[in-house]
């Protein structure tokens, strides 16, 4: 729809303007730093940063009801820059002009309700929000769209040039980074650093396909991160890991979309998501807080962060009920099917601690909870969900296992409605499904397949057939008719089909 066809009172708001005054604020010393330079940690004390808009109070001058209309009407626009995360421009990157926005199809992922069988099994009404339906098949595209739009803005305004974007990754960050960087060629080139043999073949194929320089090093993600930090400290590179606070802003769109998906009614809603480096849960809390403070939503939903027993530092930190006695200790990770969350020392831990405190305080009660789940449960729930119409990745299985655990602990009541983050597409992690189906998990995973969830193809080759077709060697005439008839009979016998 064209701007002039929108209702008169919405027209002035429908196309967002470049506004605001964004700054980096340090979570350690509280110092503020300008955004004209790319910063990842505080130059004064080395702590992580978050980005704030010092003029965000202006957003409160528009009533929540008007904001809701703005966002709903904006969905009818055909302007690419407003089709993704920047539909919420004022809340994500108001200083970025629409000409700098990079949109590759990310955002506005479907929210799919579980069928009656699954709801019965899980003990709650729930939906999957399928972030695997983003362009590089994970939620990481949300953050990359934000980070790369900002870098694009710096390039277009002559503040930086010839950027080498670099990241460490458990697989999905590098896929997203390489994709978005490749769109901005030749101004941006990208390099990714992966733990050798610790990303799936599909995830490895993604940055290779996007033309990035790909390096594999020994160790796990935490080791890659150290190498990337070393590079960022000593060389002129743009860091795209979630230390980059622009990524957090982009990932807030997940919360904004959920609010809009449910017509801004967050009463009885519970958002459940896996935690790895803890950037996503930071963003999800921050997003709901911004909408709450602006009156766009009037209730804060509950948030459940889920970790595998094999990579659970955030869970362990919050297991101590008394905040004064909590102490963060990194853990040594063990193999996990939720491989993209296999992180022992999350970069965003200080952000989670800050946001969780603010969230619970604003809600006036505890609304953020953390649970841990077994590897076995992650796989079983993923496969059961996908037997029932979903496309959940292992981390989506982790969210669902987390829902069941949270119900058991009483964090969620029976009338609560859960929205589960399936953070990537099932196909990225098909190797774990294969290990399950073939009962080939190494012992460290502690997973034994359940027969009712296993599946394997059956080879059909009737013994009495002399000739069968092969690639490049078709068979014809009677031989072919016989092949079709006998193969059909065999399949019908195995499926117990009745003749018409």
Interaction with ligand PLP in 144-173: which residues (CB under 6 A)? 172
Work out whether 341 is an interface residue with ligand PLP (CB under 6 A).
Answer: yes
> Which of 166, 220, 340, 342 is the binder for ligand PLP (CB under 6 A)?
340
Work out whether 109 is an interface residue with ligand PLP (CB under 6 A).
Answer: no
Please work out, in degrees rounded to the nearest 5, the angle formed at the alpha carbon of residue 482 by the alpha carbons of 477 and 484. 100
Partner from Zn ion, ligand PLP, none binding residue 198, C-beta < 5-8 Å depending on class: none
Work out whether 107 is an interface residue with ligand PLP (CB under 6 A).
Answer: no
* Residue 128, C-beta contacts closer than 8 angstroms, at least 6 positions apart: 111, 112, 114, 385, 390, 392, 396, 399, 419, 420, 422
Interaction with ligand PLP in 120-139: which residues (CB under 6 A)? 138
Residue 49 or 304: the one with the smaller Cβ distance to Zn ion is 49
Q: Residue 455: count other Cβ atoms within 10 Å of its Cβ.
A: 10
Cβ of residue 263: shortest distance to ligand PLP, in angstroms? 27
Query: By CB under 6 A, which span of 11-19, 193-201, 272-280, 479-487 interacts with ligand PLP?
Result: 272-280
Partner from Zn ion, ligand PLP, none binding residue 252, C-beta < 5-8 Å depending on class: none
Partner from Zn ion, ligand PLP, none binding residue 104, C-beta < 5-8 Å depending on class: none
Cβ of residue 160: shortest distance to ligand PLP, in angstroms? 26
Residue 149 or 170: the one with the smaller Cβ distance to ligand PLP is 170
Interaction with ligand PLP in 382-401: which residues (CB under 6 A)? 393, 395
Partner from Zn ion, ligand PLP, none binding residue 122, C-beta < 5-8 Å depending on class: none
Work out whether 423 is an interface residue with ligand PLP (CB under 6 A).
Answer: yes
Query: By CB under 6 A, which span of 11-19, 185-193, 277-285, 320-328 interacts with ligand PLP?
Result: 277-285
Residue 26 or 239: the one with the smaller Cβ distance to Zn ion is 26
Residue 431 or 462: the one with the smaller Cβ distance to ligand PLP is 431
Work out whether 294 is an interface residue with ligand PLP (CB under 6 A).
Answer: no
Work out whether 178 is an interface residue with ligand PLP (CB under 6 A).
Answer: no
Between CA 224 and CA 482 the distance in angstroms is: 58
Provide the Cα torsion 470, 472, 478, 484; round to 10°: 50
Cβ of residue 42: shortest distance to Zn ion, in angstroms? 3
Partner from Zn ion, ligand PLP, none binding residue 270, C-beta < 5-8 Å depending on class: none
Partner from Zn ion, ligand PLP, none binding residue 423, C-beta < 5-8 Å depending on class: ligand PLP
Cβ of residue 498: shortest distance to ligand PLP, in angstroms? 44
**Contact footprint for Zn ion (CB under 5 A):** 26, 28-29, 31, 42, 44-45, 47
Work out whether 141 is an interface residue with ligand PLP (CB under 6 A).
Answer: no
Cβ of residue 47: shortest distance to Zn ion, in angstroms? 5
Work out whether 212 is an interface residue with ligand PLP (CB under 6 A).
Answer: no
Work out whether 278 is an interface residue with ligand PLP (CB under 6 A).
Answer: yes
Residue 82 or 353: the one with the smaller Cβ distance to Zn ion is 353
Work out whether 350 is an interface residue with ligand PLP (CB under 6 A).
Answer: no
Residue 199 or 404: the one with the smaller Cβ distance to ligand PLP is 199
Residues in contact with ligand PLP by CB under 6 A are 138, 140, 172, 242, 274-280, 340-341, 393, 395, 423-424
């Amino acid at each position: 729809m064209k701007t002039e066809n929108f209702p008169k009172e919405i027209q002035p708001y429908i196309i967002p303007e470049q506004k605001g005054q964004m700054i980096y604020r340090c979570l350690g010393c509280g110092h503020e730093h300008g955004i004209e330079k790319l910063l990842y940690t505080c130059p004064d004390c080395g702590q992580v940063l978050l980005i704030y808009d010092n003029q965000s109070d202006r957003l409160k001058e528009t009533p929540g009801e008007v904001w809701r209309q703005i966002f709903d009407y904006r969905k009818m626009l055909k302007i690419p820059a407003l089709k993704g995360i920047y539909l919420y421009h004022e809340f994500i990157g108001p200083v970025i002009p629409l000409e700098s926005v990079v949109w590759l199809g990310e955002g506005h992922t479907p929210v799919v309700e579980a069928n009656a069988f699954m709801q019965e099994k899980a003990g709650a009404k729930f939906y999957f929000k399928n972030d695997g339906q983003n362009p590089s098949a994970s939620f990481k595209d949300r953050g990359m769209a934000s980070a790369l739009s900002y870098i694009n803005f710096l390039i277009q305004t002559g503040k930086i040039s010839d950027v080498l974007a670099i990241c460490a990754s458990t697989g999905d960050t590098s896929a997203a980074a390489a994709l978005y960087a490749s769109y901005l060629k030749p101004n941006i080139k990208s390099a990714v650093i992966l733990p050798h043999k610790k990303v799936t073949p599909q995830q490895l194929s993604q940055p290779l396909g996007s033309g990035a320089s790909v390096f594999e090093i020994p160790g796990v993600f935490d080791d890659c991160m150290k190498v990337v930090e070393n590079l960022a400290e000593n060389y002129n590179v743009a860091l795209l890991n979630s230390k980059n606070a622009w990524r957090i802003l982009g990932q807030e769109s997940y919360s904004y979309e959920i609010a809009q998906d449910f017509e801004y009614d967050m009463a009885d809603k519970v958002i459940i998501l896996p935690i790895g480096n803890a950037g996503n849960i930071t963003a999800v809390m921050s997003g709901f807080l911004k909408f709450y403070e602006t009156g766009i939503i009037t209730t804060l939903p509950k948030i459940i962060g889920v970790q595998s027993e094999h990579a659970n530092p955030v869970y362990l930190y919050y297991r101590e009920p008394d905040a004064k006695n909590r102490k963060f200790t990194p853990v040594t990770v063990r193999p996990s099917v939720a491989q993209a969350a296999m992180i022992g020392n999350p970069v965003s831990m200080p952000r989670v601690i800050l946001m969780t405190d603010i969230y619970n305080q604003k809600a006036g009660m505890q609304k953020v909870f953390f649970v841990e789940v077994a590897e076995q449960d992650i796989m079983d729930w993923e496969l059961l969900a996908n037997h029932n119409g979903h496309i959940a990745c292992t981390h989506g299985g982790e969210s669902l296992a987390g829902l069941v655990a949270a119900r058991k602990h009483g964090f969620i009541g029976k009338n609560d409605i859960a929205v589960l983050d399936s953070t990537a597409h099932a196909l990225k992690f098909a190797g774990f499904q294969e290990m399950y189906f073939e009962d080939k998990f190494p012992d460290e995973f502690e997973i034994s397949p359940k027969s009712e969830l296993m599946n394997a193809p059956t080879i059909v080759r009737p013994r009495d057939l002399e000739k069968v077709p092969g690639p490049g060697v078709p068979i014809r005439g009677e031989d072919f008719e016989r092949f079709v008839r006998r193969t059909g009979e065999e399949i019908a016998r195995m499926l117990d089909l009745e003749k018409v």
